[in-house]
Each structure stands twice: as C-alpha cells, then as structure tokens.
Structure 1
Amino acid sequence: MIYRSSLGNGGFCQCQLFQSLKWRFDYNKASKLMKWDLLRLGGVALLLTCSFGIIVLWVYTDLVKYGREWIRFRPGRLLLRNTLVSEDKTISDPINTSLPSLPASALPILQNEVQAKYMMPTKDYLTSLRFIKSRAMTHVDCDAIMTGDETAIKFAETEREILYSEKNGTRKNMLLNSDQTVASWADNCTLYVKSRKYITSSLTLEEAEYPIAYIISIYKNIQSFEHLLRTIYQPQNIYCIHIDQKSLAEFQTRVMKIIKCFNNVFLAQHMTRVWYGHWTIVQASLYCMEDLIKRKNDYRWHYVINTCGQDYPTKTNLEIIRALKNLHGLNSVPSRTIKITEEKYRRFQFVYNHSMNIDIDHGGLYKTDVKKKPPPHNIQPFTGKDYFVFKREAVEYLLTDQRVLDFLEWAKDTKIPDETVWATLQRMHPRLPGSTPPDKKYDTYSGNTLSRTIQWQGPSTTCGGKFLRRVCVYGCADLNWIIEKKPLFANKFAPDVDIFAMNCLAEWLRNKTIDLTSNIYNN
C-alpha cells in the first residue's frame, strides 16, 4: 500500500521536489568537503616536500663546509686536511693527468677554495705534534746543542762514540733502525702517521695557499729517507720520489710501502739507474719534473726543490715559503761563469762515455778522443751544482722549449752534466722564466742561493761528523752554524755517522714550527 499525503498529488510532487533539492544540497556539500580535504592533503604534501628540501640543502651545505674535498675534488687535489689514504690504497696513480691547464684567471678561485677549506689548528693538535725524545737520548740536551753550547756538544759526542761502539746494544737498536724495521712502521698507515707525528693539516693559511713541490732522489737507507720525508712533509705540498734502479728490489718495495700512506707522495712514473758524474743524475730530476707538471692542476705548486736522501732542511716550512716569496719570481740556482783555463771547462770539450754495465756508485766515466761540438744555438755554458729551486713556469718551459731540448741532448755525453745543465739554463735570460742575465755580475754560488749548505774538506774547514769523499757528513758540532746559513737545506746527514745530530735538528725544527704557528694565532 502506497502512502499518500492528505495534500493530494500536488503535495506528493512538492515532497519529491524537496527530497531532490536536499540530495543536491548534500552532494554539493560533500563535493566542497572533498575539495577542502584535497587542498589540505596537497598542503601537507607541499610542506613535507619543502621540509625534505631544506634537510637536503642543510646536509649538502654541511658537507660542502667540512668535506668539500671529497665531493668536488679527487683525492689529493688541494687537500688541506685528511691527506692520508685508506689502508687498501694501491701504488697505482689515481690522478687523471690528462686534464687541460687551468687558466690564470682560475688561480684566485682556487685560492678562495683554499681559504674556504682552511681550518685553524687547535692548541691540542699543535701540542700533539711535538716530538717525544727517545729514552736513548734522554741525557742529550738538543736545545743547548743548537745554540752551540760546547759542554752539551762534547757530551753528545762522547755519547755518540759509546753508542756506535756497541755491537748490538739496546740503545743502539732504539736509535738506528734497519730498512725492515722502518718499513714495518707502515703496516698500519693510520697508526704510523700518528705515531711518527706527521703534520696532516696545514698549520697556517699562508702555508695552505703556497704549495711546494719536492723531488727526492734516493738509493739506500730508508731511515734517512723517512727522517727527511717526515720533516718536510706538509699536506698541501707534493713529493716525487725517484729510486735509483741499481738499488735492491726489496729496498724499493719497502719505500713504496711507506709512500702509499700518503696521497701527495708518489713514485716517478719512469726511473733510471743513476751514476755519479753521468747524465742519469739530470734524467732522474727531469722524470720527476714531468710528473709534477702533469699534477699542476691538482697541486698548484709554486716552486720545485730537488733533494736527496742525505739532505736535511734547516728551515721550517713557513720559513721556506717566505724565502721563496722573497725571490720575487726568480729561480735560485748556483750559476757562475766558467774560465777557459779551469778544469770544468774541459768537461764538455770531449765526448765522455760511461760503462753502463758497471754497477758502482762512482767511476766508470771515461773521456774519448772525440772532440765535442759547441753547444747548440750559441748557448753559453755555466757551472754550478746539482741543486736547484725552479719556479713552476720555468719547469714548464724547459720541458717544452726546443732550444732547451737541443741543449739537453748536447749535454748527455759531457762530464758531470748536472753541474752544467741547471746552471746554464738559469742564465738563458729572458727566455727561461725566473732566469738571470749571462753577465758575470749575476754569478751566484751555493752559499748565496737557497739551494744547499755543503762543507767541503779543506785546510781551514772542520767537520763535527766526518769527511766522506771530501764532503762533511755533519755532526752535533755543526748544527749551530748550519742553521744560520741562507740555504734551505744542508748536505750531508747520515744515521750511521751521527744520529744525535739528525734527531736534534728534527726536534728543533718541529718545536720552532709549533712556536711560529702559536705566535701567529696569539697575535
């Protein structure tokens, strides 16, 4: 039965219309509510997206601030902190050497990058870098020795005689380390670098902005090499190691074990057997120069300094940088005019040959009867030493200029070419960047350049250690006057002659480094 209203059909229609309108009203209301829900949902999604973006931006900013070298640069490029490599780093070179040269306009940008990444060392970090004196040297007063105190020097010399007279004493084993022992320190790179107190962060902004390249040529005695590397090591610098290929394979393996602990220390891509007085001494430096230029985009080094395993610095890294800056763009290479009457002039008048199958340190070079032609391009020869301090632009020039390449080829069969080549190149003014004119008034000697302090045996010269092949191997009595000389390095030092002298000089340099750094920040 159908219920009808008492209003009749009209009332029934009105009721249906009312129901229809009510349904439409509910539908519109529901639609509006759904739209508001969608808007609210979209707002929440937008808020979450913005929040996520802010978090990502914050994380990225933090990474840029504290770890930009891992994001924007390959390991080793402009590193100021954490220059150590992981334990599983291989000996292979990780750096891409095919990059184009950076334009000069990029240098300020790179300097800004260095400034942005530089972090001032803490007082605790500086304190941790001080060397701890070995128990075997407890009674040796290094501070007094460095000031030239005769009592302290005489006591050290007496202790030295006792030490070296021991056949296998405990104290001797603590101070004189075998190649095997030194190499074993690098079994764990992290512990090795920390225990040997290598400087792993640039101590000052001035040092961070002024990388230096080093060439280290070695043949034997890993303790001497490691002693030198630890003293001159800085994370912003770069180091090319050339090993004389006459050395034992075991020695070379042990050297590689040490240098694998650092990203900015590498073996030369090409290495040769080296003989005294032969072209191979020059070739060893040229090999490293080529490798250093390939890495100039990764380390914007300003100057290159060549050293050997028996050299030792007499200045701190900051003092070396300031000495290089005072060159005002010049190189520092011993170079003097050769007199026709002196023996050195006859070194390139005849062809000299070397018996390449004679594996000896000295000798094997003999003069032939073949008259040698004059140097190409009317280049005037000069004489000097095997040591040099060349600016990067000079190295780029001498590796590519045809006149220089022709001269290098000419010098290959001369006698002791290492004392002629660098000295002559330094006077190729104005072609070679940083060179000086050939006029005699521009002659320089070892003593008034930055290259090396060497004490030759003579009637009026003394040696606190002992003379070896007419060159002084320094002892404690020599340290006070050595550090007062202008050159940045001194030659020679040897652990088997005076380990006290090496350790005292190392301790003095490290303490001076820390004191200089502290004074900069205290002022």
Structure 2
Amino acid sequence: MLKVLKQLHLPLWLLLSCVLATLWVLLSPEAGLGRVSRLTNSWSDSTEDSSPEHVCNCSGILQGDVEALEQAKLLTITKEFHQRIHIPDESYVRATQDCRNFKLKRKYNTQPLSEEEEDLPLAYSIVVHQKVQSFERLLRSIYTPQNLYCIHVDKQAAASVTAAISAIASCFPNVFMVSRREEVVYASWSRVQADLNCMAHLYNVSSQWKYFINLCGQDFPLKTNLETVRMLRSLWGGNSLESEQMPSGKKHRVTVVHKIVNRAMEKTKEAKTPPPFNLPILSGSAYMVVSRGFIHSVLTDSRIQALMDWAKDTYSPDEFLWATIQRIPGVPGSNWPNSKYDMSDVNAIARLVKWEHHEGSQGSLQAVYPLCHGRHVRSVCVYGAGDLHWMIQQHHLFANKFDTDTDPIAIYCLEKYLRQKALADVH
C-alpha cells in the first residue's frame, strides 16, 4: 500500500495522513476487522480444547441425544477423570502472578462485545465459601469489563479458598473483595448481611450500573450478557424475583424467635412481635434481579430498615425479606402487595431451581419440571448433563445448583454453548 501511495507523488504530510487513516480503520474497535477478529483469536468459542471434558459431544448433549449423554455419564463416574479436571486452590495463586497470561489462558472477555451491553452495566454480588474452581468458572462466564463484581468469601472459608479468590480478583479492576466479611450460618441473618455488604459496596463504588444480580458459587448463567441486558431492558425499570403468599408450612419461620446454637438455627418458644408497619410478609428466595433504585431503598428506606431489624431473629430471612420488600409501595420496581401480583420462581427470571417435590416424569400434569439428572442436596437438584436440553429452553438468567464434583460436563457444555452464542451475536 505504501509503495502505491509513493507512486502517486503525494506530499509527505498527506502520505502520512493516508497511512495513519488506514491503520485507524483497520485497528478501530468499531471496524469490521477490529473487534470481531480480535475476539475470534483471543476469546475462541471453545473453553479449553485440551481439557478432559472436550471429548464429550456437547452438541448432542444439549439436544438431549441419549448416546451422547450415556458417554458423558460413563466418563464422569471414573475416578481418573475427576482427578484430571481438579484444580487445586494453590494453582490459582500461582497462575495469577501473571495476570495477563492468566486472563489470556483462561479466555476472559476483556472488552465490551457491543455498545448495547456497554450502555447497561450490571452489578453482581457473589457469595462463596468453597470450591474455587466452580467460582472461577462462574466469574469467567459472566465477566465483562463494564460490569462490577463484589465477592464475599465466608469468614470461615479455608485459607486456601480466600487466598485463591483474592488472587483472582486482583487481576481485574472491576472485581473486588467485599470490605466487610461475615461468618455465614445456614438459614440465619448472616446470609442476608453478606449480600447487604456487597450492595452497599457496589452502590458506593459506582453510580453507573443499572441492575443488581446476586449469585452464589453454585450458580451458572443460562444467557449471554447481551441476552441478559436485553431482558433487563424489557423490565422497563421493574424487578424480577419470586414473591408470593407465604405457605402455611413456613409461617413458623416468622412467628417464632430463632437463635443460633452451635452454628445452627434453632426455634425457641418465644413468639415474634408483628412485623413493623403491618407489612404483609411474602415468601420468596435469596435470589433477585433488581434495579439500582431498589438497592437505594434497601439501604435508606426507614420502613425497610425496621423490617430488617425485625427479621434478624427469624429462620431463613433471605427467603422472605426481598420478596416482602418487592411488595412495599413506593419501592422502585415493586408490585402492589395484592395476591394478583404474586410472582413464582418459575415466572421470575432470577433463578431456575429444580425442587425435588415439584419434579415428575415426562407427561405428568402435576410436575413443574422433569426429573433431576444429577443428585439432590436439601431437596434441590444439583444438575447433570441430562438437564441441559430442558434448561436452555427456559427464560431464566441463571440456574442453581451446579457442582464440578457432581457433573463438570454440565458446566463445560453450558459454558461452551454460551460462548458460541456470544460470538455469533458479535458477528
């Protein structure tokens, strides 16, 4: 090109201008060869071709192919396979000593994939207590440079877990450890407090993000970041979370005082006082997709502050607090407390969860969803590869629970599927 320009006998200043303009076009992020080609090279559609899982037929698994699922199942039951995929916590500390190489090798997306995504940054809270490998794969699957990520590691987590997650976070300017950590006790207020600490941190560190999503280490996305952004825009400032009438079998959770005894919640004989302001207590879950305005109310509204003080000695307050706040008049994005506005977990977009007592065989009119292909923990399905075909057809943003010890292929194939979709959207 330079030779051709010289033959035109142009002035030196014009010659240099032509060269610089051409380089700008070729390297510009907005150019056809700019953003897309660099993404294709540095953020390929496969996760790790050398990983033990790559022998699986992910395409067949996602389509529900019986043979592909059987092959995957045979692979996951071998001890050798699980030994090969396991990554010790210490490996992350060593790997992140060279952050550039870590992000390149682990194929993190280090630039916004579209202006649409860049214009709607998100804030995430991730509560973790173990399984660094699962956490890192979750972070990698949702990471984009315009979003913010607050990580809460349980105070009681093993030192190796805290060190590894802290090392990972240190490689990213928009991923940080929460400033105040809690000792999380199952079904106690501490679980709520962990999210509250991240909410306050995220709210104060930036005014740019538009929506808040809370996660745990056993979640995994079902949508790309672009799909998530588009679904959030369609809420028109509203929130999406489970919020419905409290089942009679759960009412003891909020009518009797509970206390922590030997690191477990126990029911006492002391009756609870009525909730403040005669607020109707709704049932829900720990997970939500809410606007920045909702978070502002949680941090500042006197009614909500009184409700939270009242809830501190209840059982599993995370499973009614957010659901109740969502129905308080005046809270941004909230719905009226009338039962006509009830929202089930199936209809909300926050989280896909398979509860054992709602599962059923194909064709059963009573079943909410098909049988679990993994195993159950506290009546919740820990997904297997056989759940993916059904799962990717659902409208939820995230699913719970995944576990690399139960079925790493489920995570591998889902991550590969999402990466291919994200790249297809860029093209």
Q: Could you tell me which residue of structure 2 aligns to residue 336 of structure 1? A: 244
Deviates more, 1:231-240 or 1:122-131: 122-131
Please point out which of 265, 271, 278 is paired with 1:378. 278
User: What's the offset of the Cα at 1:135?
Assistant: 4.7
Query: Structure 2: which amino acid aligns with 1:447?
Result: V
Rg (Cα) greater in structure:
1
Tell me how far apart the structure 1 counterparts of residues 387 and 93 of structure 2 sit (CA, whole Å). Answer: 30
Name the structure 1 match of 2:405.
496
Partner of 2:64: 148
1:288 aligns with 2:211: no
CA distance in structure 2 between the partners assigned to 1:436 and 1:234 by the alignment: 31
Going from structure 1 to structure 2, the CA distance change for 1:352 and 1:174 (only over 3 Å counts) comes to same
Residues 464, 477 of structure 1: 8 Å contact kept: yes
Is the contact made by 2:76 and 2:82 (CA closer than 8 Å) also made in structure 1?
no
Match of 2:210 among 292, 302, 323: 302
For 1:183, the equivalent position in structure 2 comes to 93
Describe the shift of the 1:124–1:470 C-alpha distance in structure 2 as closer, same or farther (beyond 3 A).
Answer: same
Unpaired segments ≥5 residues, structure 2: 1-16, 361-369
Q: Are residues 348 and 498 of structure 1, via their aligned partners in 2, closer, same or farther at CA, if it must alter by over 3 Å? A: same
Question: Are 2:345 and 1:457 aligned?
Answer: no
- Distance in 1 of aligned mates of 2:318 and 2:169: 27
1:503-514, aligned counterparts within 5 Å? 503-514=412-423
Structure 1 residues 101-138: Cα deviation after superposition (integer angstroms, max 9, x where no partner): xxxxxxxxxxxxxx9xxx96132423431124235234
The equivalent of 1:111 in structure 2 is: none
Of 328, 331, 351, 2:257 maps to: 351
Tell me which residue corresponds to 1:125. Answer: 39
Residue 297 of structure 2 aligns to which amino acid in structure 1?
Y
**Partner residue, 1:320:** 228
Residue segments in structure 1 that go unaligned for 5+ positions in a row: 1-57, 66-80, 82-114, 519-523
In the alignment, residue 147 of structure 2 is paired with which amino acid?
N
Matched residue of 2:96: which SS?
Answer: helix
Mapped to 2, the partners of 1:491 and 1:440 lie a distance apart of 27
* 8 Å contact kept, 1:447–1:486: no
Q: Hey, which of these two has a bigger chunk of helix by percent?
A: 1
Q: Tell me the equivalent position of 2:366.
A: none
The separation in 1 between residues aligned to 2:55 and 2:200, in whole angstroms, is 47
2:301 maps to a residue whose letter is D
Q: Distance between the aligned counterparts of 1:391 and 1:210, measured in 2?
A: 11
Letter in 1 for 2:168: I
Distance in 2, Cα, partners of 1:457 & 1:391: 31
| TM-score, reference length from structure 1 | 0.72
SS in structure 2 of the partner of residue 253 of structure 1:
helix
Q: Deviations over 1:120-178 (max 9, x none)?
A: 6132423431124235234311111112111111111111123xx33xxxx54442212
Q: 1:417 aligns with which of 308, 312, 317?
A: 317
CA distance 1:181–1:210, shift in 2 (3 Å): same
AA matched with 2:202? L
Q: Does 1:136 align with 2:52?
A: yes
Moved more, 273-282 or 450-459: 450-459
Verify the 8 A CA contact 2:89 2:160 in the aligned structure 1.
no
Paired residue for 1:46? Answer: none
Aligned to 2:346: 447
Letter in 2 for 1:351: V
Distance (whole Å) between structure 1 residues aligned to residue 113 and residue 97 of structure 2:
27
Superposition RMSD on alpha carbons, in Å? 2.3
Distance 1:279 1:125, change over 3 A: same
Residue-by-residue CA offset, 1:321-377 (whole Å, 9 max, x unaligned): 0111111111111000125xx12122111111112xx35xxxx21111221111111
Query: Which residue is 1:49 aligned to?
Result: none
The whole-number CA distance in structure 2 between the counterparts of 1:404 and 1:137 is 47
Residue aligning to 1:103: none
Q: Distance in 1 between matches of 2:200 and 2:49?
A: 39
Q: 1:517 to 1:246 in 2, by over 3 A?
A: same
AA at the equivalent of 2:226: L
Q: Matched residues in 2 for 1:184 and 1:142: separation? A: 31
| Separation in structure 1 between the aligned mates of residue 34 and residue 328 of structure 2, nearest angstrom | 42
The answer for the alignment partner of 2:77 in structure 1 is 161
What is the TM-score with the length of structure 2 in the denominator? Answer: 0.87
What is the correspondence of 1:223-302 to structure 2 with a 5 Å cutoff? 223-297=133-207, 300-302=208-210
Partner of 2:111: 201
Asked if the contact 2:219/2:398 (under 8 Å) is kept, the reply is yes
Percent identity, please.
37
Give the aligned length: 392
**In structure 1, C-alpha distance between the alignment counterparts of 2:379 and 2:168, rounded to whole Å:** 32
Task: Give the 3-state SS of the residue equivalent to 2:251 in structure 1.
Answer: helix
Q: Deviations over 1:33-65 (max 9, x none)?
A: xxxxxxxxxxxxxxxxxxxxxxxxx9xxx9xx9
CA distance in 1, matches of 2:325, 2:388: 33
Secondary structure at the aligned position of 2:164 is classed as helix
Distance 1:515 1:338, change over 3 A: same
Q: Does 1:398 align with 2:298?
A: yes
The worse-fitting range, judged by mean Cα deviation, of 460-469 and 215-224 is 460-469
Contact 2:382/2:406 (<8 A) preserved = yes
Name the CA distance, whole Å, in 2 between partners of 1:301 and 1:146: 33
> Hey, what does 1:32 align to over in structure 2?
none
For the residue of structure 1 that corresponds to 2:183, the secondary structure is coil
* Structure 2 counterpart SS, 1:385: coil
Question: How far apart, CA to CA, are the structure 1 residues paired with 2:193 and 2:340?
Answer: 30
Offset of residue 183 of structure 1: 3.1
Please name the residue that 2:3 is paired with. none
1:435-491 C-alpha deviation (Å, 9 max, x unpaired): 000010110111111111111113625221211221111111001111111110011
Amino acid at match of 1:306: N
What is aligned with 1:466? Answer: 375
Q: Deviations over 1:288-322 (max 9, x none)?
A: 0000110223xx11100000000000100000001
